[in-house]
Structure 1
Amino acid sequence: MIFSKILIPVDGSRHSDNAVKYGFYLAEMCGAKVILLHCHAPIPSGLGEPNFQKAIDDATRKSYAILQKYLKKPEASNLPLQDKIIGGETTKSIVTVADTEKCDLIIMGSKGKSDLEGLLVGSVTHKVLNSASCPVMIIK
């Protein structure tokens, strides 16, 4: 199967590092475009100004720092890359971006929880795996 657009959600963890490593490799093999996505927690609108804007600025700055870790990798220079920062519920954001961007594949890192633990704890990876309309590849 050939993929043309791959979504890789990242959070800066070693699990995301592994997903990016494999995702970049697969994208280069397929000639696919990569979308790196970082989702930050929703910002409560009831903070009022200037606190609301400061919270948005802080979340954006932290998100951009996480994305830069991957955008600076040597492998990134060989790929068509797009980065996105979205605030909100993580699973919903990942699935929405995958659908909106018409991604053929989502590649995510896994913390290695069992199916039962993922179901009980409600891991993001487990939720995306069961919600996404495209294939999801889980990297340990």
Structure 2
Amino acid sequence: MIFTKILIPVDDSRHSENAISYGSELAEISGAKVIIIHCHRPVPTGLGDPNFQKAIDHETRESYAILEKHTAVLKAKNIEFDEKIIGGSIAKSIKTVAETEGCDLIVMGSKGKSDLEGLVVGSVTHKVLHIAPCPVLVIK
């Protein structure tokens, strides 16, 4: 199967590093474009100014630092990519981006939870597996 767009959600974990590694290999093989996203936690709107803006700025700086580490791998391999930062529900954001961008595949890391523990805890990976509009490759 040839992929045209691969979505790779990342955080600051080794599991995301593994997902970038696998996802970039698949992109190289198929000539796919990569959409790399980082979802940060929502910032409460009730903080008021200037606290709300400071919190947004802080989340944005952290998000760009995380993305920069992962996009370095894509740049080194000359893989075409877009990067996005999104705040809010992580699983829903991943689904929305995959739909909006027309992604053929989502490659994401796993926290290494067992199936039973993941179902009880409701991990992001399990949520994405159930709502994704395309195949999901989970990387340990």
Q: TM-score under structure 2 normalisation?
A: 0.97
CA–CA distance in 2 between the matches of 1:118 and 1:80? 33
1:36-80: CA deviations, max 9, x gaps? 100000011110000011000000000000000011226544110
**Would the aligned equivalents of 2:33 and 2:81 in 1 still touch at CA under 8 Å?**
yes
Number of residue pairs the alignment of both structures matches: 140
CA–CA distance in 2 between the matches of 1:76 and 1:5? 18
1:1-140 to 2 correspondence within 5 Å?
A: 1-73=1-73, 76-140=76-140
Q: Deviation above 4 Å: which 4+ runs of structure 1?
A: 74-77
CA–CA distance in 2 between the matches of 1:75 and 1:92? 28
Deviates more, 1:50-59 or 1:73-82: 73-82
Code of the residue aligned with 1:67 in structure 2: it is L
Aligned to 1:98, what secondary structure does the other structure show? helix
Code of the residue aligned with 1:129 in structure 2: it is L
Code of the residue aligned with 1:59 in structure 2: it is E
1:7-54: CA deviations, max 9, x gaps? 000002000000000000000100000011000000111100000110
Aligned to 2:34, what secondary structure does the other structure show? strand
Consecutive unaligned residues in structure 2, runs of 5 or more = none
CA–CA distance in 2 between the matches of 1:94 and 1:79? 21
- Give the % identical residues: 69
**Would the aligned equivalents of 1:70 and 1:76 in 2 still touch at CA under 8 Å?**
no
The alignment's C-alpha RMSD in Å is 1.1
Consecutive unaligned residues in structure 1, runs of 5 or more = none
Aligned to 2:56, what secondary structure does the other structure show? helix
**Would the aligned equivalents of 1:43 and 1:55 in 2 still touch at CA under 8 Å?**
yes
Aligned to 2:138, what secondary structure does the other structure show? strand
CA–CA distance in 2 between the matches of 1:71 and 1:19? 12
